[in-house]
Structure 1
Amino acid sequence: MTTIATTAELRKSGLSPRQIHHRCTPAGTWQRLLPGVVLTTPSPPTRLDRLRAVLSFAGPGSAITGADALVRMGAAVPLSRHIHVLAGENTRRAHPWILLERTTRPPDVVERHGLRLAGPARATLDLARRELNPRAVAEIVDAVLEAGLCTPAELSAELRAGCRRGTALVRQALLHLHPV
Structure 2
Amino acid sequence: MNHNTPLSPRPLRHLSDVQLRVLTTAQLRSQGVSTADINAQCRPGGTWQQLLPGVYLLRPGPATSEERLHAVLLYAARSPATEPAVPTQPGAGEPHAPQRYTDAMITGLAALALHRFSSAPPLLSLDRIDVLVPRLRRLRSTGCVRIVRTPGMPEPQQITGIPVAPVPRALADAVADLADAGVVRRLLTEAVRGGHCEPAAVVKELTQARLLSRPHVVDAVDSLLAEGRAIAEDRLYRMVQEHGLPDPVWNVDLRLPGGPHLGGLDAYWPDHAVALELDTRAPRQDEDAMWSEYARKREHLERLGITVVHITPKKLRDSMEQQATVVRTALMASADRDPAAYVVVLPR
TM-score (norm 2): 0.48
Displacement after TM superposition at 1:121 (Å):
0.8
**Preserved contact between residue 188 and residue 224 of structure 2 (Cα < 8 Å):** no
**Preserved contact between residue 74 and residue 147 of structure 1 (Cα < 8 Å):** no
Is 1:73 matched with 2:115? yes
Q: 1:104 is matched with which residue?
A: 151
Letter paired with 2:69? L
Q: 1:57 is matched with which residue?
A: 75
Map 1:88-127; keep pairs closer than 5 Å.
88-89=134-135, 90-127=137-174
Is 1:172 matched with 2:238? no
Unaligned runs of 5+ in 2: 1-16, 78-101, 226-280, 283-348
Map 1:1-180; keep pairs closer than 5 Å.
1=17, 2-59=20-77, 60-76=102-118, 77-79=120-122, 80-89=126-135, 90-160=137-207, 162-165=208-211, 168=214, 169-178=216-225, 179-180=281-282
Residues 9-65 of structure 1: CA distance to partner in whole angstroms, max 9, x if unpaired?
110111111111111222321111011000112232012211111111112311111
Displacement after TM superposition at 1:95 (Å):
0.6
1-side partners of 2:56 and 2:194: how far apart? 34
2-side partners of 1:15 and 1:5: how far apart? 11
Displacement after TM superposition at 1:85 (Å):
1.1
Displacement after TM superposition at 1:4 (Å):
0.8
Sequence identity percentage: 32
1:101 counterpart SS class: strand
Query: Which one has more relative contact order, counting CA pairs under 8 Å at least 6 apart?
Result: 1
**Preserved contact between residue 61 and residue 87 of structure 1 (Cα < 8 Å):** yes
2-side partners of 1:147 and 1:135: how far apart? 17
State how many pairs are aligned.
Answer: 179
Q: 2:346 is matched with which residue?
A: none
1:130 counterpart SS class: coil
2-side partners of 1:158 and 1:20: how far apart? 43
Displacement after TM superposition at 1:174 (Å):
2.0
**Preserved contact between residue 110 and residue 116 of structure 1 (Cα < 8 Å):** yes
1:27 counterpart SS class: coil
2-side partners of 1:65 and 1:5: how far apart? 22
**Preserved contact between residue 211 and residue 217 of structure 2 (Cα < 8 Å):** no
Unaligned runs of 5+ in 1: none
**Preserved contact between residue 65 and residue 117 of structure 1 (Cα < 8 Å):** yes
Displacement after TM superposition at 1:74 (Å):
1.0
Could you say what the CA RMSD is over the residues aligned between the two structures, in angstroms?
Answer: 1.9
Once the two structures are overlaid, the 10-residue window that deviates more, 66-75 or 92-101, is 92-101
1:84 counterpart SS class: strand
Flag the structure with larger Rg.
2
